Amino acid sequence: MTDLPDTPHQAAAELEALAATIAHHNRLYHTLDAPEIADADYDALVRRNAAIEAAFPDLVRADSPARSVGAAPAGHLAKVAHARAMMSLDNAFADDEVVEFVARVRRFLRLGDDEPVALTAETKIDGLSCSLRYERGLLVQALTRGDGTTGEDVTANVRTIGDIPQRLHGDAPAVFEIRGEIYMAKADFAALNARLLAEAADPAKARRFANPRNAAAGSLRQKDAGVTASRPLRFFAHGWGEATDLPADTQAGVIAAIRDWGLPIADGFTCAAGIDAALAAYRAIEARRADLPFDIDGVVYKVDRLDWQQRLGQVAKAPRWAIAHKFPAERAQTTLNAIDIQVGRTGKLTPVARLEPVTVGGVVVTNATLHNADEIGRLGVRPGDRVVLQRAGDVIPQIVENVSRDDTRAPWPFPTRCPDCGSAAEREPGEVDFRCSGGLICPAQRVERLRHFASRHALDIDGLGITNIESFFRDSLIDAPADIYRLTEAALLARERWATVSARNLIAAIDAKRTPPLDRFLFALGIRHVGEVTARDLARRWRSWDGLMGMIARAIAERDALAPAIGESDDRHLARVAKALAAVVDTKQVGPEVALALVDFFAEPHNRAAVDDLLTEVTPADLVWETRASPVSGKTLVFTGKLETLSRDEAKAQAEALGARVAASVSAKTDMVIAGADAGSKLKKATDLGVAVVTEAEWAQIVADAA
């Protein structure tokens, strides 16, 4: 992993980019069944995000990938809320990470060194997650995972899968949700693609699936259950959701009961007495991986005792009692034919490797990102080089080695001009990315800014995706965000492939976003360094657009008043100005870099003109505070002293689950202190400040009452 960012500004910018990138790939994988990067690339993004968040905990975003699972369901299938959330899993990529996982379990539960932690180990099937709800033994509903909270109803389609019984065998609880993976065996996948090719009128246009996982997902999410019935789908159970009763007190015991009820369990499921046995199970499954009839990408370990699972609970999106141990990536060699440059919404220039087609793990790969100029320099790649690719999952792998490396050659010249508008491409001190300086005159940035404005986390205008935006921009229907609101049904109907219903729906979707929430509107403007969390912090501080603009006007005046001091360097002066502006912005979550970016954006006449024009069509809604129905929701708590019945990690998890914030020290902003045995200076300070103090037993009662 590359070095972590040096400053909070760099960290916040990278976290913003990572959140958007990971959300994009989540939607492609979970909602559209069309991933465009490999599992290894995706895992690297998630691990990078986690490392930066650990180094800069104050910058963790509300839309952090660590807090989300999958992506929101989309399309023709009905959306249904899960009775219990379908969680994701944290990943381990080396033995020592598995050892640390068990060590964390021990610390959380306060186990002695001589107390064993039994684990189950099972294959991690590369399929589509599904939850099967049985009531009185009868299958009544089947849902995809979706975003973990809401899934798609695929009951009719699941009833066509032979592995899934309509009625459970024997006695089952009144309600029991069985969760597992719907997949397609390798041989069945090859036969399906061969059949689709044979049935096609034009073989060149025949639809063929890229891999078994995509084939399974596409087959399950059909409108017509008859199509699903014609596809060879299978199912393996690996867990459960809502249940009125459990047939055992261990993971292995419940899985055995599920198998007895008639659901298939993947071969290789075992119970390991400790870490050595668990890793031995991993090695055994890895050795058989190529010979298995279905795709797997790792082994999942789970704490066997269910009472321990209950105590361990979960973090934002994953249980603390389970982890996926991923297999190493697969590799192949090919030729790098060319390096192209793509320009993003913020002007970032991203190099893309165009590759001689090569099959890596059954998937033909032609493209891979090279990330930035530093990565090109690290690899020493130039067109014509032989490179090594690796993949651990689906489609586009990463370049990990340059076989033709020759450091005596001149490096590939990273462009100093934007390929789209010809403006200078510059790299700011301390940053790795080159950016086009063309701003609003750059076509690539204008299109990307429009796409960002309408995107799901910004204004969320349904039906206004990148294809329509590019088409409208190309034909001069829209050039700036305000133009979106001036589209008419007549203008759409004059275009090819637009009918009355689709035109009316898009205009209605646009009109529905004429009073967007203040934070979404601010985020939608695409101001550099102002991500979703920063926009929300600013909205919470200033509450209204007028309040926000009043602050911006004062900040601009402050900047103009701070003329450079004689003999002071530009960098020092810029830092002084930025610090002064942060004081005007007046929210501790927003640092000098963000304050300077805000002022730079609104001080630019072209930007102000575009925003003023937009405000003739849109009225940002004032922020409305929302609260949760929890006794400590929104309050700041501090735990101090020795807790007798639970670890500090478990106590913090309980508080966060109730919507509270846990601080490390007592201050006037503290709402409650939970004092264990031998509490010292924090308890005294809480008493001096008049902060409410409760005992560990009283805290336990608060938790119980809120359950």
| Active-site residue set | 124
Provide CB contacts within 8 A for 445, sequence distance 6+: 343, 344, 345, 346, 347, 436, 438, 439
C-alpha to C-alpha distance for 417 and 413, rounded to whole angstroms: 11
Range list of H helices, 261-412: 275-288, 306-312, 373-379
Q: Cα 95–99–104 angle (5° rounding)? A: 145
C-alpha to C-alpha distance for 706 and 474, rounded to whole angstroms: 55
Q: Which of 596, 604, 568, 664 is nearest to 7 (CA)?
A: 596
C-alpha to C-alpha distance for 626 and 633, rounded to whole angstroms: 11
Question: Strand 234-243 vs strand 150-152: parallel, antiparallel, or unpaired?
Answer: unpaired
Range list of H helices, 586-638: 592-603, 605-614
- Give the DSSP per-residue string, 537-556: HHHHHH-SHHHHHHHHHHHH
Question: Strand 672-675 vs strand 692-695: parallel, antiparallel, or unpaired?
Answer: parallel
Q: Which of 206, 202, 204, 176 is nearest to 194 (CA)?
A: 206
Strand partners, 342: 350
The two tokens of residue 568 are: 């002071």
Q: Which of 101, 146, 106 is nearest to 128 (CA)?
A: 146
143 neighbors 130 (Cβ within 8 angstroms): yes
- Give the DSSP per-residue string, 473-504: HHTTS-SSHHHHTT--HHHHHTSTT--HHHHH
Range list of H helices, 223-271: 225-229, 251-260
Chain centroid, CA 16 distance in Å = 11
Provide the residue count of the chain: 707
C-alpha to C-alpha distance for 335 and 325, rounded to whole angstroms: 32
